[in-house]
Amino acid sequence: METEIDRMKKMPIEDFLARLGHHPVQRRANAVWYRSPYREEKTPSFKVNPEKNLWYDFGEGKGGNIFALAGEFIRTDDFLAQVKYVAEMSGMPLPEHEPRQSSGVRQAGGQSFEDVEILPLQNRALLHYLQERGIPSAIAVANCKEIRYTMHGKRYFAVAFGNGSGGYEIRNPFFKGCVPPKDVTLLPSGSTVCNVHEGFMDYLSARALGIGNGEDHLVLNSVSNAAKAFRYLDGYGRINCYLDNDEAGRRTLEALGTRYGERVSDCSGIYGGCKDLNEHLQKTLAGRLTQHENEKKSKSIKM
Between helix 247-260 and helix 226-233 the angle, nearest 10°, is: 30
Which whole number is the average pLDDT over 121-135?
93
Q: What is the pLDDT of residue 108?
A: 42
Question: Alpha-carbon distance 202 to 208, whole Å?
Answer: 10
CATH 3.40.1360.10 residue ranges in the chain? 185-279
> Where does 185-279 sit in CATH, by number?
3.40.1360.10
- Confidence (pTM): 0.63
List, in sequence order, the alpha helices (H) in 199-238.
200-209, 226-233
| β pairing state of 168-172 and 175-179 | antiparallel
Q: Among candidates 72, 123, 85, 99, which has minimal Cα distance to 8?
A: 85
| β pairing state of 238-242 and 193-197 | parallel
Beta strands in 2-139 (DSSP E): 26-28, 31-34, 46-49, 54-57, 62-64, 105-108, 111-120
Per-residue model confidence as pLDDT tens digits over 218-227: 999 999 899 9
Question: Alpha-carbon distance 207 to 216, whole Å?
Answer: 11
CATH 3.90.580.10 residue ranges in the chain? 4-90
Asked whether residue 69 carries a pLDDT value surpassing 80, the answer given is yes
Q: Among candidates 256, 228, 251, 222, which has minimal Cα distance to 241?
A: 256
Backbone angles phi, psi at 41, to 5 degrees: -160, 150
Asked whether residue 302 carries a pLDDT value surpassing 60, the answer given is no
Q: What is the pLDDT of residue 107?
A: 44
Q: Among candidates 175, 177, 197, which has minimal Cα distance to 187?
A: 197
Q: What is the pLDDT of residue 289?
A: 63
> Where does 4-90 sit in CATH, by number?
3.90.580.10
